[in-house]
Chain A
Amino acid sequence: MKERLPTVFVVDDDEGVRSSLRLLLKSVGIAAQTAASAPDFLASYEADQPGCLVLDVRMPGMSGLELQEQLNVRGAMIPVIFITGHGDIPMAVEAMQQGAFDFLQKPFRDQDLLDRVQKALEKDAANREQLKQRDDIRKRYESLTPREREVLELVTQGKPNKVMAGDLGVSQRTVEIHRARVMEKMAAGSLAQLVRMMMDLDLQPHA
Protein backbone atom coordinates (compact mmCIF):
# COMPACT_ATOMS: atom_id res chain seq x y z
CA MET A 1 0.00 0.00 0.00
CA LYS A 2 1.30 3.44 -0.93
CA GLU A 3 2.22 5.54 2.08
CA ARG A 4 0.31 8.80 2.31
CA LEU A 5 2.28 12.01 2.69
CA PRO A 6 1.62 14.07 5.80
CA THR A 7 -0.66 17.03 5.23
CA VAL A 8 -1.26 20.09 7.35
CA PHE A 9 -4.93 21.01 7.48
CA VAL A 10 -5.62 24.69 8.06
CA VAL A 11 -9.11 25.52 9.30
CA ASP A 12 -9.79 29.24 9.57
CA ASP A 13 -12.72 31.37 8.47
CA ASP A 14 -10.32 34.11 7.33
CA GLU A 15 -9.38 33.57 3.68
CA GLY A 16 -6.24 35.73 4.14
CA VAL A 17 -4.96 33.48 6.93
CA ARG A 18 -5.74 30.32 4.97
CA SER A 19 -3.88 31.42 1.86
CA SER A 20 -0.88 32.86 3.72
CA LEU A 21 -0.48 29.70 5.80
CA ARG A 22 -0.86 27.51 2.72
CA LEU A 23 1.90 29.50 0.99
CA LEU A 24 4.11 29.42 4.07
CA LEU A 25 3.79 25.65 4.40
CA LYS A 26 4.29 25.14 0.67
CA SER A 27 7.46 27.24 0.81
CA VAL A 28 9.05 24.63 3.07
CA GLY A 29 7.69 21.67 1.13
CA ILE A 30 4.81 20.76 3.42
CA ALA A 31 1.51 19.80 1.78
CA ALA A 32 -1.44 21.80 3.04
CA GLN A 33 -5.20 21.66 2.67
CA THR A 34 -7.51 24.38 3.87
CA ALA A 35 -11.11 24.59 5.04
CA ALA A 36 -13.17 27.67 5.80
CA SER A 37 -15.18 26.08 8.59
CA ALA A 38 -15.16 23.20 11.05
CA PRO A 39 -18.01 21.30 9.29
CA ASP A 40 -16.18 21.63 5.95
CA PHE A 41 -13.10 20.09 7.53
CA LEU A 42 -15.07 17.29 9.19
CA ALA A 43 -16.78 16.45 5.90
CA SER A 44 -13.47 15.82 4.18
CA TYR A 45 -11.33 14.50 7.06
CA GLU A 46 -10.05 10.95 6.80
CA ALA A 47 -8.60 9.54 9.99
CA ASP A 48 -5.95 7.52 8.18
CA GLN A 49 -4.48 10.66 6.61
CA PRO A 50 -1.29 11.52 8.49
CA GLY A 51 -0.71 15.15 9.36
CA CYS A 52 -1.74 17.81 11.82
CA LEU A 53 -4.39 20.46 12.16
CA VAL A 54 -3.85 24.21 12.45
CA LEU A 55 -7.12 25.44 13.84
CA ASP A 56 -8.56 28.87 14.54
CA VAL A 57 -10.27 29.04 17.92
CA ARG A 58 -12.98 31.53 17.03
CA MET A 59 -15.07 30.80 13.98
CA PRO A 60 -18.71 31.38 13.22
CA GLY A 61 -20.84 28.29 13.85
CA MET A 62 -18.73 25.48 15.24
CA SER A 63 -15.71 26.92 17.09
CA GLY A 64 -12.25 25.43 17.03
CA LEU A 65 -12.71 24.07 20.57
CA GLU A 66 -15.98 22.41 19.52
CA LEU A 67 -14.26 20.86 16.51
CA GLN A 68 -11.55 19.52 18.83
CA GLU A 69 -14.29 18.00 20.99
CA GLN A 70 -15.84 16.36 17.91
CA LEU A 71 -12.48 14.94 16.92
CA ASN A 72 -11.98 13.58 20.44
CA VAL A 73 -15.42 11.92 20.31
CA ARG A 74 -14.44 10.29 17.03
CA GLY A 75 -11.18 9.09 18.56
CA ALA A 76 -9.15 11.08 16.04
CA MET A 77 -5.51 11.37 17.05
CA ILE A 78 -4.49 14.24 14.78
CA PRO A 79 -2.36 16.77 16.70
CA VAL A 80 -4.11 20.14 16.91
CA ILE A 81 -2.30 23.49 16.97
CA PHE A 82 -4.69 26.26 17.92
CA ILE A 83 -4.15 29.76 16.61
CA THR A 84 -6.05 32.75 17.91
CA GLY A 85 -5.96 36.49 18.03
CA HIS A 86 -8.12 36.64 21.14
CA GLY A 87 -6.72 33.95 23.38
CA ASP A 88 -6.78 34.03 27.14
CA ILE A 89 -5.44 31.69 29.77
CA PRO A 90 -8.67 29.80 30.54
CA MET A 91 -9.15 29.17 26.80
CA ALA A 92 -5.58 27.96 26.38
CA VAL A 93 -5.88 25.73 29.47
CA GLU A 94 -9.13 24.22 28.20
CA ALA A 95 -7.62 23.52 24.78
CA MET A 96 -4.54 21.89 26.30
CA GLN A 97 -6.61 19.88 28.78
CA GLN A 98 -8.62 18.56 25.83
CA GLY A 99 -5.40 17.35 24.27
CA ALA A 100 -4.29 20.21 22.02
CA PHE A 101 -0.73 19.86 20.85
CA ASP A 102 -0.09 23.61 21.07
CA PHE A 103 -1.75 26.97 21.34
CA LEU A 104 -0.34 29.99 19.52
CA GLN A 105 -1.42 33.59 19.74
CA LYS A 106 -1.62 35.74 16.63
CA PRO A 107 0.44 37.48 15.49
CA PHE A 108 3.15 34.82 15.54
CA ARG A 109 6.44 34.50 13.72
CA ASP A 110 6.30 32.23 10.67
CA GLN A 111 9.19 30.21 12.03
CA ASP A 112 7.40 29.64 15.35
CA LEU A 113 4.45 28.10 13.54
CA LEU A 114 6.69 26.04 11.26
CA ASP A 115 8.63 24.70 14.27
CA ARG A 116 5.40 23.66 15.95
CA VAL A 117 4.00 22.13 12.77
CA GLN A 118 7.19 20.12 12.37
CA LYS A 119 6.92 18.84 15.95
CA ALA A 120 3.23 18.05 15.50
CA LEU A 121 3.97 16.04 12.35
CA GLU A 122 6.68 14.12 14.23
CA LYS A 123 4.23 13.44 17.05
CA ASP A 124 1.60 12.24 14.59
CA ALA A 125 4.10 9.91 12.90
CA ALA A 126 5.15 8.50 16.31
CA ASN A 127 1.51 7.99 17.34
CA ARG A 128 0.73 6.16 14.11
CA GLU A 129 3.80 3.98 14.42
CA GLN A 130 2.82 3.08 17.99
CA LEU A 131 -0.71 2.26 16.84
CA LYS A 132 0.60 0.11 14.01
CA GLN A 133 2.87 -1.81 16.37
CA ARG A 134 -0.03 -2.39 18.73
CA ASP A 135 -2.16 -3.58 15.85
CA ASP A 136 0.59 -6.00 14.78
CA ILE A 137 0.82 -7.39 18.31
CA ARG A 138 -2.96 -7.82 18.45
CA LYS A 139 -2.95 -9.70 15.15
CA ARG A 140 -0.20 -11.99 16.46
CA TYR A 141 -2.15 -12.53 19.67
CA GLU A 142 -5.28 -13.39 17.69
CA SER A 143 -3.31 -16.00 15.73
CA LEU A 144 -2.72 -17.99 18.95
CA THR A 145 -4.85 -21.03 19.71
CA PRO A 146 -6.92 -21.01 22.94
CA ARG A 147 -4.37 -23.34 24.57
CA GLU A 148 -1.47 -21.10 23.50
CA ARG A 149 -3.26 -18.11 25.02
CA GLU A 150 -3.59 -20.01 28.30
CA VAL A 151 0.12 -20.78 28.21
CA LEU A 152 0.89 -17.17 27.35
CA GLU A 153 -1.05 -15.95 30.37
CA LEU A 154 0.72 -18.36 32.69
CA VAL A 155 4.13 -17.59 31.17
CA THR A 156 3.65 -13.87 31.67
CA GLN A 157 2.66 -14.53 35.28
CA GLY A 158 6.16 -15.93 35.66
CA LYS A 159 5.10 -19.52 36.29
CA PRO A 160 7.70 -22.22 35.61
CA ASN A 161 6.91 -24.93 33.00
CA LYS A 162 6.43 -27.55 35.69
CA VAL A 163 3.77 -25.48 37.50
CA MET A 164 2.03 -24.63 34.21
CA ALA A 165 1.94 -28.32 33.30
CA GLY A 166 0.20 -29.02 36.60
CA ASP A 167 -2.24 -26.11 36.15
CA LEU A 168 -3.16 -27.20 32.62
CA GLY A 169 -3.09 -30.93 33.26
CA VAL A 170 -0.59 -31.65 30.50
CA SER A 171 2.99 -32.86 30.39
CA GLN A 172 5.91 -30.52 30.87
CA ARG A 173 7.09 -31.33 27.33
CA THR A 174 3.72 -30.21 25.92
CA VAL A 175 4.02 -26.93 27.80
CA GLU A 176 7.51 -26.42 26.38
CA ILE A 177 6.19 -26.93 22.85
CA HIS A 178 3.29 -24.49 23.39
CA ARG A 179 5.62 -22.00 24.99
CA ALA A 180 8.03 -22.15 22.04
CA ARG A 181 5.13 -21.64 19.63
CA VAL A 182 3.85 -18.68 21.62
CA MET A 183 7.28 -17.03 21.54
CA GLU A 184 7.56 -17.68 17.81
CA LYS A 185 4.06 -16.52 16.87
CA MET A 186 4.33 -13.42 19.04
CA ALA A 187 7.83 -12.74 17.64
CA ALA A 188 9.06 -12.22 21.19
CA GLY A 189 12.77 -12.45 21.87
CA SER A 190 12.41 -12.69 25.64
CA LEU A 191 9.89 -13.09 28.43
CA ALA A 192 10.26 -9.39 29.28
CA GLN A 193 9.32 -8.49 25.71
CA LEU A 194 6.31 -10.78 25.87
CA VAL A 195 5.13 -9.13 29.11
CA ARG A 196 5.55 -5.68 27.52
CA MET A 197 3.45 -6.80 24.56
CA MET A 198 0.68 -7.96 26.86
CA MET A 199 0.79 -4.64 28.68
CA ASP A 200 0.56 -2.82 25.33
CA LEU A 201 -2.61 -4.77 24.64
CA ASP A 202 -3.92 -4.06 28.14
CA LEU A 203 -3.72 -7.79 28.80
CA GLN A 204 -1.58 -7.33 31.86
CA PRO A 205 -0.49 -10.52 33.51
CA HIS A 206 -2.28 -11.08 36.82
CA ALA A 207 -1.07 -13.65 39.28
Chain B
Amino acid sequence: MVIGRGSDRTRCVLQVLEGLGPIWWPNEPSRVFDRIARVHLACVVLADDLTDEPVGELLTRLRELHPVLPIFVVTDANDVADAVQAMRLGATAAVELPPSAGLREYVIQALQ
Protein backbone atom coordinates (compact mmCIF):
# COMPACT_ATOMS: atom_id res chain seq x y z
CA MET B 1 0.00 0.00 0.00
CA VAL B 2 1.30 3.44 -0.87
CA ILE B 3 0.28 6.34 1.31
CA GLY B 4 0.77 9.78 -0.20
CA ARG B 5 -0.94 13.02 -1.06
CA GLY B 6 -1.40 12.04 -4.67
CA SER B 7 1.30 14.43 -5.86
CA ASP B 8 3.94 13.74 -8.52
CA ARG B 9 5.94 12.06 -5.79
CA THR B 10 3.16 9.58 -5.11
CA ARG B 11 2.73 8.95 -8.84
CA CYS B 12 6.49 8.24 -9.20
CA VAL B 13 6.30 5.66 -6.42
CA LEU B 14 3.22 4.01 -7.92
CA GLN B 15 4.96 3.88 -11.28
CA VAL B 16 8.01 2.10 -9.82
CA LEU B 17 5.71 -0.42 -8.15
CA GLU B 18 3.65 -1.04 -11.29
CA GLY B 19 2.71 -4.70 -11.66
CA LEU B 20 3.00 -5.37 -7.92
CA GLY B 21 -0.58 -4.32 -7.28
CA PRO B 22 0.03 -1.18 -5.25
CA ILE B 23 -2.98 0.46 -3.67
CA TRP B 24 -2.90 4.20 -3.09
CA TRP B 25 -4.40 5.73 0.01
CA PRO B 26 -4.47 9.47 0.68
CA ASN B 27 -2.26 10.69 3.50
CA GLU B 28 -4.99 11.15 6.10
CA PRO B 29 -4.18 9.37 9.38
CA SER B 30 -7.75 8.91 10.61
CA ARG B 31 -8.88 7.26 7.37
CA VAL B 32 -5.68 5.26 7.02
CA PHE B 33 -6.06 3.66 10.44
CA ASP B 34 -9.72 3.00 9.85
CA ARG B 35 -8.92 1.16 6.61
CA ILE B 36 -5.79 -0.55 7.85
CA ALA B 37 -7.76 -2.33 10.54
CA ARG B 38 -9.85 -4.02 7.86
CA VAL B 39 -7.24 -5.30 5.41
CA HIS B 40 -4.15 -7.47 5.45
CA LEU B 41 -1.12 -5.52 4.31
CA ALA B 42 2.15 -6.93 2.98
CA CYS B 43 3.94 -3.61 3.41
CA VAL B 44 3.47 0.14 3.45
CA VAL B 45 5.30 2.79 1.45
CA LEU B 46 5.10 6.31 2.83
CA ALA B 47 5.64 8.49 -0.23
CA ASP B 48 5.54 11.97 1.27
CA ASP B 49 8.32 13.96 2.88
CA LEU B 50 8.81 13.01 6.52
CA THR B 51 8.71 16.67 7.48
CA ASP B 52 5.08 16.78 6.32
CA GLU B 53 3.31 16.64 9.63
CA PRO B 54 1.14 13.55 9.31
CA VAL B 55 3.94 11.36 7.97
CA GLY B 56 6.01 11.12 11.15
CA GLU B 57 2.83 10.57 13.16
CA LEU B 58 1.64 7.93 10.70
CA LEU B 59 4.95 6.10 10.83
CA THR B 60 5.07 6.11 14.62
CA ARG B 61 1.51 4.89 15.00
CA LEU B 62 1.83 2.29 12.26
CA ARG B 63 4.94 0.89 13.95
CA GLU B 64 3.20 0.80 17.32
CA LEU B 65 0.20 -1.02 15.91
CA HIS B 66 2.14 -3.32 13.56
CA PRO B 67 5.59 -4.09 15.03
CA VAL B 68 6.72 -6.34 12.16
CA LEU B 69 5.01 -4.74 9.17
CA PRO B 70 7.63 -3.65 6.59
CA ILE B 71 7.35 0.13 6.24
CA PHE B 72 9.41 1.98 3.65
CA VAL B 73 9.82 5.73 3.63
CA VAL B 74 10.63 7.80 0.56
CA THR B 75 12.92 10.74 1.37
CA ASP B 76 14.27 13.62 -0.69
CA ALA B 77 17.48 12.86 -2.57
CA ASN B 78 20.53 12.84 -0.26
CA ASP B 79 18.43 13.77 2.76
CA VAL B 80 20.39 11.57 5.16
CA ALA B 81 18.96 13.29 8.25
CA ASP B 82 15.41 12.51 7.10
CA ALA B 83 16.34 8.89 6.37
CA VAL B 84 17.90 8.51 9.82
CA GLN B 85 14.84 10.08 11.44
CA ALA B 86 12.60 7.64 9.54
CA MET B 87 14.67 4.72 10.76
CA ARG B 88 14.52 5.97 14.33
CA LEU B 89 10.76 6.18 14.08
CA GLY B 90 10.66 2.55 13.03
CA ALA B 91 10.92 2.46 9.24
CA THR B 92 12.25 -0.79 7.83
CA ALA B 93 14.24 1.17 5.27
CA ALA B 94 14.38 4.58 3.65
CA VAL B 95 14.79 5.13 -0.07
CA GLU B 96 15.55 8.39 -1.78
CA LEU B 97 13.89 10.17 -4.64
CA PRO B 98 13.60 9.37 -7.42
CA PRO B 99 12.37 5.97 -6.24
CA SER B 100 14.26 3.28 -8.09
CA ALA B 101 14.55 -0.47 -8.46
CA GLY B 102 15.73 -0.58 -4.84
CA LEU B 103 12.23 0.29 -3.60
CA ARG B 104 10.71 -2.28 -5.94
CA GLU B 105 13.05 -4.94 -4.55
CA TYR B 106 12.17 -4.05 -0.98
CA VAL B 107 8.48 -4.40 -1.82
CA ILE B 108 8.98 -7.70 -3.68
CA GLN B 109 10.81 -9.08 -0.63
CA ALA B 110 7.97 -7.93 1.59
CA LEU B 111 5.41 -9.60 -0.70
CA GLN B 112 7.35 -12.86 -0.52
Q: Tell whether A and B belong to one assembly.
A: yes
Residues of A within 8 A of B (CB): 87-90, 92-93, 96-97, 102-103, 105
Does the CB pair B78–A93 fall under 8 Å?
A: no
Contact flags B16-56 to A (C-beta < 8 A → 1, else 0): 00000000000000000000000000000000000000000
A89 touching B87 in the complex, CB below 8 Å, given contacts A103-B80, A105-B80? no
4 extra A-B contacts, CB within 8 A, seeds A87-B80, A97-B87, A103-B80: A88-B78, A89-B79, A97-B93, A105-B80
Would B87 and A93 count as touching, CB distance under 8 A?
yes
Contact between B88 and A96, CB atoms less than 8 A apart? yes
Q: Given the complex of chains A and B, what is the CA–CA distance between A87 and B95 in angstroms?
A: 14
Checking A88, A93, A96, A105 against B81 with a beta-carbon cut-off of 8 angstroms, the contacting residue is: A105
- Nearest B residue to A94 by beta-carbon distance? B93
CB-defined contacts of B88 to chain A, threshold 8 Å: 96, 102
* A88/B93 contact (C-beta < 8 A), A96-B87, A96-B88, A97-B87 known: no
Q: Enumerate chain B residues within 8 angstroms of A103, measured Cβ to Cβ.
A: 80, 84
Q: Given A88-B78, A89-B79 in contact, is the A102-B84 Cβ separation under 8 Å?
A: yes
Q: How far is the CB of B68 from chain A (nearest CB, A)?
A: 14
Instruction: Give the complex CA separation of A97 and B78 in angstroms.
Output: 18
Complex alpha-carbon distance, A9 and B12, angstroms: 43
Docked-complex contact A89 and B75, CB < 8 angstroms: yes
Distance A89 CA – B86 CA, assembled complex (angstroms): 11
> How far apart sit A103 and B94, CA to CA, in the bound complex (Å)?
14
From residue A89, how far is it (CB to closest CB) to chain B in Å?
5
**Cβ-closest chain A residue relative to B77:** A89
Convert B63-98 into 0s and 1s, putting 1 for each residue whose CB lies closer than 8 angstroms to a CB of A: 000000000000100111101100110000111100
Residues in A whose Cβ lies below 8 Å from that of B80: 87-89, 92, 103, 105
**A89-B81 contact in complex given A96-B87, A96-B88, A97-B87, C-beta closer than 8 Å:** no
Tell me the smallest distance from the CB of A152 to a CB of chain B, in Å: 28
Q: Which of B86-112 contact A (CB under 8 A)?
A: 87-88, 93-96, 102
Nearest-neighbour CB distance to chain B for A127, whole angstroms, equals 16
Which chain A residues lie closer than 8 Å to B81 at the CB level?
105
Most buried by B among A89, A102, A103, A105: A89
Would A92 and B93 count as touching, CB distance under 8 A?
no
Residue pair B87, A92 in contact (C-beta under 8 Å): yes
